[in-house]
Amino acid sequence: GGSAMAAVRDVEIDPEGTFKYILVRLQRPGGAEQRHIVRGTKAAEFHNHIFEKLNPEMEKLGYECKCIGGGKIDHNNKDKKIRVFGLSTGYGKADHSVTVDILKKVYTDYEITWSDDKK
């Protein structure tokens, strides 16, 4: 049922700073149920590092993972602002508007914006 999918958090990003992020689609093999999640961290030098860590974790839970793009997140927790921008050379540009919708579910009291700017 929905419990395993609920166990996967919508967003896991660093609490502060500017870092790479990826937008990932999860689905059950052969299933219609799917959802999107956001993952980002300063620890990742490249976008694929985030995916390579996430993918085996999701496979264990029985999900197929597809990275549908990336970019950068600037997370200012002091001013409660998140800016989504940039792109991934390997995965292409994520649909930042989708990313923002997901972030808004978690960071409800933040001002969250996006742009196609590179920096």
Catalytic residues: 47
60 is in an annotated binding site: no
Classify each residue of 14-30 as buried b or exposed e, where b means 16 or more C-beta atoms within 10 Å of its C-beta. beeebbbbbbbbbeeee
Burial status of residue 87 (CB atoms within 10 A of its CB: 0-12, 13-18, 19 or more): middle
Report the DSSP beta bridge partners of residue 18.
74
Binding residues for substrate: 20
